[in-house]
Amino acid sequence: MLHLGGLRTALFNYLLARRYGGEFILRIEDTDQARLVPGAAEGIVQTLEWAGLNFDEGPGKGPDKYFQSQRSDIYRKHAQELLDRGAAYRCFCSTSRLEALRTEQTAQGRAPAYDRHCAHLSSRQIDEKLRAGERHTVRMRAPSAEDSDSGRFYDIVHRAMDFRGPAGFDDAVLLKSDGQPTYHLANVVDDHLMRITHVLRGEEWLMSTPKHRALFTAFGWQAPQYAHLPLLMNPDGSKLSKRNDDGPVQRYIDDGYLPESLVNYTALLGWHPETPQELFTLRQLEQSFSLAGLSRSKSVVSRERLDWLNRQHLRAAFADPDKSAGLIQQARAEVAAASGLETASVRPETVATALRLAGDRLTFTKDLYNAVPFMFGDPALDTTAAEQALILVPHEFHIPILNALEHALASEVSESWIGFAKSVAAAAQVPTKHVMMMLRFALTGERFGPKIPELLDALPVDSIKRRIRSAKAEIESR
């Protein structure tokens, strides 16, 4: 399941590739079989496709193997190359010894690090252990801080970094005892073989970068440029995780956000455009994105801002002939589900009118029925909401206004609806605002809603007449 932070990482890599004519490559890191979730890789691909982030190479697309579990022979070959060069060594330490070492170092207030117990085994000792079938890992022989510049590097986001010291130069495991590579080896080898020039990833990998740079040096390869993206945070200051409601991308999809909205929002989590513009299409992001705009500050995930963006993109999508038809069909099904109506009875033109009428008040298409239920049937006039509208008009004006409305609607309305309301007010000898509120009561059964002229334009005249008669009958029956 792709996390919002993972989507941001993929998006920034995608935008960088599109802006500068590069290639966006999707690799699946699935070497840790114990943590492998069935269907996770397919879910990542589907989520990226939903977001419009089409990769140039990746699973099912490209000349290479893109699941790291399918590239084990490649990693073992390169691990052997490091062993032959003396840049790595075999470690036969048991799990219990390593745990005891870690406990002792922690108790002494030292950072846990391997003590190189196996680093100086002779060739004869190693051969004996291998013949005996002892399980082992392969560790990198990390250079000392004094002998290496791997800990000093320039990060595109964090600028000049200096991690020279034990924490940055631990003898990291490269091959696990089951023969599978760790992230450190697999990604360095893949970055080189796939000619990766830029790596944009989460800042949780910042401390591991010296190890990766040391590996590139050990192989004699050029390291890519790195940009480590700051963490995403909850409003309370805690780290956004996969377990948070706002963590998984699928949650946003299920909630009804448009892909354009979530991509737009995600781009603004750690990237600042050169202009005050906030609303971006994916194409505009491709043309505007730059590494210089990446921020070192952590970003707070806020649904309020995302909701605003979704309203803007929803309105833009409805105005786009290429997208509006799909939105209308989606909203038809959602209105039917919310109202209990048959989908066939929910007319597309009514949905289109309702979407236009709801305007910026609508955050999701699934909320259309609750936003303007009076577009899909006559309103109930005996509710609390209807009463709140009615009490705003003096009781003695109710029937005179409704009689005047009935009389005015008996013939074709040739003036604007504002002019119509003023004419009715004059005939009933009441203020125009009371005519407007009586219309709102009769047509919607609610105190608040769309502007009355827009509402009168949206409803068929026959429906308006019927609702006026129903309102009159409701009041006379009291």
Q: Spell out the residues 6+ positions from residue 21 whose beta carbon is closer than 8 angstroms to its own.
A: none
How do strand 152-155 and strand 159-162 relate by DSSP bridges?
Answer: antiparallel
The span from the CA of 332 to the CA of 341, in Å, is 10
Catalytic one of 77, 242, 433, 451: 242
89 sits in which H/E element: strand 88-91
CA distance 96 to 338: 59
DSSP annotation of 182 reads P
Q: What is d(CA 326, CA 317) in angstroms, rounded to the nearest whole number? A: 10
Active site residue 242: yes
Do 438 and 455 form a contact (C-beta atoms < 8 A)?
Answer: no
Alpha helices, H only, 282-371: 282-288, 303-319, 321-339, 348-358, 368-371
Name the token pair of 94. 């048991």
Distance CA 266, CA 429 (A): 56
Show Cβ contacts of residue 334 under 8 Å, excluding neighbours closer than 6 positions. Answer: 365, 366, 368, 369
For 396, the 3-state DSSP assignment is helix
Rounded distance between C-alpha atoms, residue 394 and residue 389, angstroms: 11
Cα–Cα distance, 456 to 55 (Å, whole number): 48
Tokens of 84: 């032959």
414's tokens: 């040739």
User: 418 and 453 in contact (C-beta within 8 Å)?
Assistant: yes
The set of catalytic residues is: 242
